[in-house]
Amino acid sequence: MTFFGLTLSVALVDILMLNVLLAYSAYAVFSIGRLNVAFIAFSGLGGYISAIMWSRFHLPPLWCICLAIGTSALLALPLAVLLMRVTSVYLAIATIAVAAIFQDLLVNFQSLTHGADGIAGLPIVAGLDVLAPCVAVVILGFWLVSRSRWGIGMILQRSDERLALSVGINVNLNIAVLFMISASVAALQGALTAFWYGFVSPDAYSFSTVILVIAMVLLGGSSQWLGPLAGACFLTLIPQWLEPFGVWSDVATGSILLIVVLLLPEGLVGRIATRRGLHRARMSEESKWRLGDRTVRVGPSPVAMGSSEQAIWATVARTAAGTVLDRQPTYLRDFDVIAEQPAHPAGSHELLQCDNLTVQVGGLQILNAVALSVRAGEICGVVGPNGAGKSTLLNVISGFTAPGSGSTRFDGSDISHVPAWGRARLGIGRSFQQVRLVDSSSVRLNVQAGALRSSKTSPSDPCETSSIVNILRALNIEEFEDWPIRYLSYGTRRKVELARVAAGRPKLFLVDEPTAGVSHAHILGIERLLRDEARRGCAVVIVDHDLGFIQRIASRVVVMDAGIEIYQGPPSDAFADRRVISAYVGS
């Protein structure tokens, strides 16, 4: 069969399928941002186990393949545990070393592997009829995973591990499982290759194969389930297509690779996905504008604000918006906040109880015997000069920093030894001092992420989608639902991050500097969201430097200085306290 001047022989299609399998085994771990290339060793292991089982024990090929997959998956687990904390290019170097060790062992264990000669004489049973279903099953599997909540978790983990932890994703478990999946697919590929060629030899598992497979995945797009398929097709077929050019064909392949990488840094499929996302955002934006014309908000909504300043701002903003845009930007509705005191749930139970928390780095005492207890429905503000240990306190409560001593009780049970992802699943939601979002994904996905591990409904469930829209509407950012994060302003990003935490329906809401660098309107919107959360019965702990904001919203204030709690009580008295004054402005 000829195809654009390329003769597609059965052998070429078979090789293409084997390459696709190897590309997916690499993609399995690449998809969480880890450059693990040990797949080549597991491919070799699969091939050799099959060959040895067949030639020594005369097991049927199917058994050999199953045994190869099982053994590889088991061996991948300790490797994953060993390399858990190794990232970036260092993981690539380490796993290349593992692959090289494996290749050397193959040569050294003469009696078992026949050394450099390899094992020949295997039955050639893996034809297109075997390969095609295997490839189909693997691709189907990766497609299903990419649509599942696990797939969304993987996107989060790839983009930012701390963010993934904060929404309750067990990052280490994901690494281990994906290492095992990668090893299984690689072993399947190795065993099929053995039964396709009829022999195995150590040369097949070389550095150049690794490089080729990495290029396939990155070229296709390491964040798209279709990427490895596209990349494998490209790098298998293009050299074939250029074959008539003789020695220059490889030069041409290299040049094409360079050009494609320079022009399409997100990969072949990644580029298409980005284009589609942008298009969708533009479409929805246009429809919102049209909708905005028809369902014009009726007049200026009643402004019941405590301060005249807010009213002035609102008027100014509305006038400006009315003249310039002919339409009121939604975030200006943030001015409609109704100032009221948070409902004090008197006598409600203590949700969080920290005792004697101490954190020390080197000789520096960052937290010194800090105690904090927060009741459900309460808004507690934590203030203090820079370096007082406020963010560290939040990190300790959310499990991101292990305290040197002290205990944390949450909702009646001791959580001192629960990891960050476990605390998130128990209902401790947090935002970060520097906004952490998946920049390339839409607002919707980012907000859904918050609900990944806290509710049982799937993310495509309409009921959950509507709850996400509700949260976005409460923050007046619903028009950005389809937008990729990287096109949003800083204030909107802040709101999206808070929306993510709110989507998880936390029992304890930890907020780190929500107002830093955010304009007045957005602050009011954030304030309303936090009040709503408290009214729902959620305990809110806010770290912030905006004392006016804290005084408005908090029912209780904790003032810290140099790791020590210097004041705890109602916000009105905080700045009459002598120690607080001296901490802020000196005595």
Partner 1 sequence: MEVQRTWDPSNGSYERSVRDFKTCIVQWSWYLEMVLLGVIISGILVGGVYALFSVGLSVLLGAMRVFNIAHGTILTASAFVAIEVARMTGWSAAPLLVVGAFTGMCLGIPLEMLAIRPFRRGKVFGGDMETGTMLTTLAFVLVGRDLITHFTQAQTWSFPFGSYPTFAVSLGALRVGVMYVIAFALSIVLILLAAVVLKFTQPGRAVRGIASDHRAASLLGINVNRYSLGTAMVSSGLAGLAGALLAMAFAGVSYDTGDNLLFLGFIIVVLGGIGSVPGTLIAAIALGIVESIGNFYSSGNWGEILAFALLVLVIVFRPQGLLGKPAIVRT
Q: Which of 1, 2, 89, 308 binds partner 1 (CB under 8 A)?
A: 89
154 sits in which H/E element: helix 149-159
Q: Which is nearer to partner 1, 79 or 192 (CB)?
A: 79
The full length of the chain comes to 587
Q: How far is the CB of 233 from partner 1 (least distance, A)?
A: 18
Residue 381 bridge partners (DSSP): 542, 557
Is residue 557 helix, strand or coil? strand
Listed residue (224, 214, 281) closest to 38, CA to CA:
214
Instruction: Let me know if 412 is exposed, middle or buried by CB neighbors in 10 A (0-12, 13-18, 19+).
Output: exposed
Q: Which of 10, 11, 62, 82 binds partner 1 (CB under 8 A)?
A: 82
Q: Which of 258, 304, 338, 364 binds partner 1 (CB under 8 A)?
A: 258
Contact 219, 231 (CB under 8 A): yes
Q: Which two tokens stand for residue 559?
A: 């003032």
Q: How far is the CB of 403 from partner 1 (least distance, A)?
A: 16
Q: Which of 63, 143, 207, 289 binds partner 1 (CB under 8 A)?
A: 207
Q: How far is the CB of 525 from partner 1 (least distance, A)?
A: 26
Listed residue (577, 542, 494, 575) closest to 342, CA to CA:
542
Q: Is 266 in the site for partner 1 (CB under 8 A)?
A: yes
Which position has the token pair 């605390």?
423
Q: Is 402 in the site for partner 1 (CB under 8 A)?
A: no
Q: Give the binding-site size for partner 1 (rule: CB under 8 A).
A: 49
Q: Is 403 in the site for partner 1 (CB under 8 A)?
A: no
Q: Is 35 in the site for partner 1 (CB under 8 A)?
A: yes
Tell me which stretch binds partner 1 (CB under 8 A): 80-88, 123-131, 443-451, 552-560. 80-88
Q: Is 555 in the site for partner 1 (CB under 8 A)?
A: no
Q: How far is the CB of 455 from partner 1 (least distance, A)?
A: 28
Q: How far is the CB of 391 from partner 1 (least distance, A)?
A: 8
Nearest-angstrom CA–CA distance, 389 and 404: 14
Q: Is 446 in the site for partner 1 (CB under 8 A)?
A: no
Q: Which is nearer to partner 1, 431 or 454 (CB)?
A: 431
Contact 205, 41 (CB under 8 A): yes
Q: Which of 75, 92, 451, 511 binds partner 1 (CB under 8 A)?
A: 92
Q: Is 143 in the site for partner 1 (CB under 8 A)?
A: no
- DSSP assignment letter at 378: -
Interface mask toward partner 1 for 462-501; x: CB under 8 A: ----------------------------------------
Q: Which is nearer to partner 1, 53 or 212 (CB)?
A: 212
Contact 30, 217 (CB under 8 A): yes
Q: How far is the CB of 107 from partner 1 (least distance, A)?
A: 6
Q: How far is the CB of 13 from partner 1 (least distance, A)?
A: 24
Q: How far is the CB of 245 from partner 1 (least distance, A)?
A: 11
Dihedral class, residue 169 (left if φ above 0, else alpha if ψ from -120 to 50, else beta): beta
The pairs formed by 490-495 with CB atoms below 8 angstroms and a separation of 24 or more are: 490/435, 490/517, 490/518, 491/331, 491/517, 491/518, 491/519, 491/521, 491/522, 492/331, 492/522, 493/435, 493/437, 494/435, 494/518, 494/522, 494/526, 495/522, 495/525, 495/526, 495/529
Q: Which is nearer to partner 1, 263 or 585 (CB)?
A: 263
Nearest-angstrom CA–CA distance, 334 and 521: 5
Q: Is 78 in the site for partner 1 (CB under 8 A)?
A: no
Q: Which is nearer to partner 1, 9 or 255 (CB)?
A: 255
Q: Which is nearer to partner 1, 228 or 525 (CB)?
A: 228
Q: Which of 20, 96, 451, 540 binds partner 1 (CB under 8 A)?
A: 96
Listed residue (502, 344, 508) closest to 411, CA to CA:
508
Q: How far is the CB of 249 from partner 1 (least distance, A)?
A: 8
Contact 113, 202 (CB under 8 A): yes
Q: Which is nearer to partner 1, 22 or 53 (CB)?
A: 22
Q: Which is nearer to partner 1, 196 or 400 (CB)?
A: 400
Work out the number of other CB atoms within 10 angstroms of the CB of residue 211. Answer: 12
- List binders of partner 1 among 100-139 (CB under 8 A): 100-101, 104-105, 107-108
Q: Which two tokens stand for residue 484?
A: 């990729």
Work out the number of other CB atoms within 10 angstroms of the CB of residue 179. Answer: 29
Q: Is 255 in the site for partner 1 (CB under 8 A)?
A: yes
Complete DSSP assignment for 297-324:
--SSPP---S-HHHHHHHHHHHHHHHHH
Residue 450 main-chain phi, psi, to 5 deg: -65, -30
Q: Is 513 in the site for partner 1 (CB under 8 A)?
A: no
Q: Which is nearer to partner 1, 57 or 90 (CB)?
A: 90
Listed residue (260, 180, 266) closest to 222, CA to CA:
266
Q: How far is the CB of 125 from partner 1 (least distance, A)?
A: 33
Q: Is 185 in the site for partner 1 (CB under 8 A)?
A: no
In this structure, are strands 364-375 and 350-361 parallel, antiparallel, or unpaired? antiparallel
Q: Which of 45, 188, 215, 451 binds partner 1 (CB under 8 A)?
A: 215
Nearest-angstrom CA–CA distance, 373 and 384: 18
Contact 531, 538 (CB under 8 A): no
Binding site residues, partner 1, CB under 8 A: 30, 33, 35, 82-83, 85-86, 88-90, 92-94, 96-98, 100-101, 104-105, 107-108, 158-159, 162, 207, 211, 214-215, 218-219, 222-223, 247, 250-251, 253-255, 257-258, 261-262, 265-267, 395, 400, 432
